[in-house]
Amino acid sequence: MPLSPDQQAEIDTQRATPSQTLRAVAPGMEAHLYTAHEVLDHGFVRVVDYMGDDAAICQAARVSYGRGTKSVSNDEGLIRYLMRHWHSTPFEMCEVKLHVKLPVFVARQWIRHRTANVNEYSGRYSILDREFYIPAPEQLAAQSVVNNQGRGDALQGEEAARVLEILKADSNRAYDHYEQMIGTDGQDGLARELARMNLPANIYTQWYWKVDLHNLFHFLRLRADSHAQYEIRVYADAICNIVKDWVPAAYGAFEDYRLGGAILSGPALSVLRRMLKGERVEQEDSGMSKREWREFMEMVDN
């Protein structure tokens, strides 16, 4: 169970006491507050707070573009226009604060996105819990033979069993030794900041992560992508589901123009125009390398 009894009690108290506010309220998001959406075997994503809604995006855009935006008939049209033309600052006017519990190796990928605020559980101050990510059997994928950073098919039978056995045994042994080193019963054990170095990267950590909507979309575009590692993609997917309820119009535009969209190079655009005029184009006369051509054909031929 991902939430500790203490955390659950704190959440229950908060949930029980709605207050009045004059701020913008997103009803779809209120429903997510204080609900821990489970991810992986011990992780979760939980909305702690948020600022703004679809209307707040338009409000900010209308300050910038003044009367010029009045010609756009409605909020959804305006939001789609902003997304299409990379006017990113109005999206920065919405903010969300999440509580996330996640394995350390996922946290290490996540933290590369620097335009966010983070408060992480500290292994210097506190003792980490015995919680490790052990993949579900269908996620025990082999190294891809075509892609250096990808996964192939799932391991089967004995090979899979052996891997699971290793991960479980090593995690538990590492944690046993961690406990031994820091000591018990108040005796002077090894400093926590040192003992934690024995713990493997599948141990869970947690943090508060606060980010604006523009930077969140950037994160989601990279991490909800099919090339992202499965273990971070499931967090991105969970967040997508939350954002959809928070700012439905902005999320719809994001889905159409970023997630589901594609980028054409100049040479690819030229080829496309020739093709649409009925010309038959081959890689040799496309101005693209073989690799670019293959990626291009996969995109248009899907």
Based on the shown chain and the rule CB under 8 A, indicate whether residue 3 belongs to the binding site for a copy of itself. no
Q: Which of 117, 112, 107 is nearest to 48 (CA)?
A: 117
The pattern of x and - marking residues 207 through 226 that bind a copy of itself according to CB under 8 A reads xx-x-x---------x----
Annotated binding residue at 121? yes
Based on the shown chain and the rule CB under 8 A, indicate whether residue 285 belongs to the binding site for a copy of itself. no
Based on the shown chain and the rule CB under 8 A, indicate whether residue 235 belongs to the binding site for a copy of itself. no
Q: How far is the CB of 259 from a copy of itself (least distance, A)?
A: 7
Residues in the chain: 302
Give the single-character DSSP code of 85: T
Query: What is the DSSP pairing of strand 37-39 with strand 95-103?
Result: unpaired
The pattern of x and - marking residues 167 through 206 that bind a copy of itself according to CB under 8 A reads x--x--xx--x--xxxx----xxxxxxx-xxxxxxx---x
Instruction: Please indicate whether residue 223 is annotated as part of the active site.
Output: yes
Based on the shown chain and the rule CB under 8 A, indicate whether residue 264 belongs to the binding site for a copy of itself. yes
Pair 140, 163: CB distance under 8 Å: yes
How many CA within 13 A on the CB side of residue 146? Answer: 3
**Crossing angle (nearest 10°) for helices 230-246 and 213-223:** 140
Annotated binding residue at 196? yes
Q: What's the CA gap between 237 and 235, in Å, rounded?
A: 5
- When binding is defined by CB under 8 A, the residue of 41, 95, 237, 245 that contacts a copy of itself is 95
Catalytic one among 62, 84, 173, 223? 223
Cα radius of gyration rounded to whole Å, the chain: 24
Annotated binding residue at 15? no
Taking the mean position of all CA atoms in its chain, how far away is CA 201? 18
Strand partners, 33: 47
Based on the shown chain and the rule CB under 8 A, indicate whether residue 274 belongs to the binding site for a copy of itself. no
Pair 24, 52: CB distance under 8 Å: yes
| Residues 30-59 close enough to bind a copy of itself by CB under 8 A | 30, 33-34, 48-52, 56, 59
Annotated binding residue at 278? no
Q: By C-beta, is 12 or 241 nearer to a copy of itself?
A: 12
Based on the shown chain and the rule CB under 8 A, indicate whether residue 286 belongs to the binding site for a copy of itself. no
Q: What's the CA gap between 202 and 133, in Å, rounded?
A: 5
| Residues 135-164 close enough to bind a copy of itself by CB under 8 A | 135, 139-145, 148-152, 155, 162-163
Residues with active-site annotation:
223
Known binding residues are 89, 109-114, 120-124, 196, 212-214, 218, 223
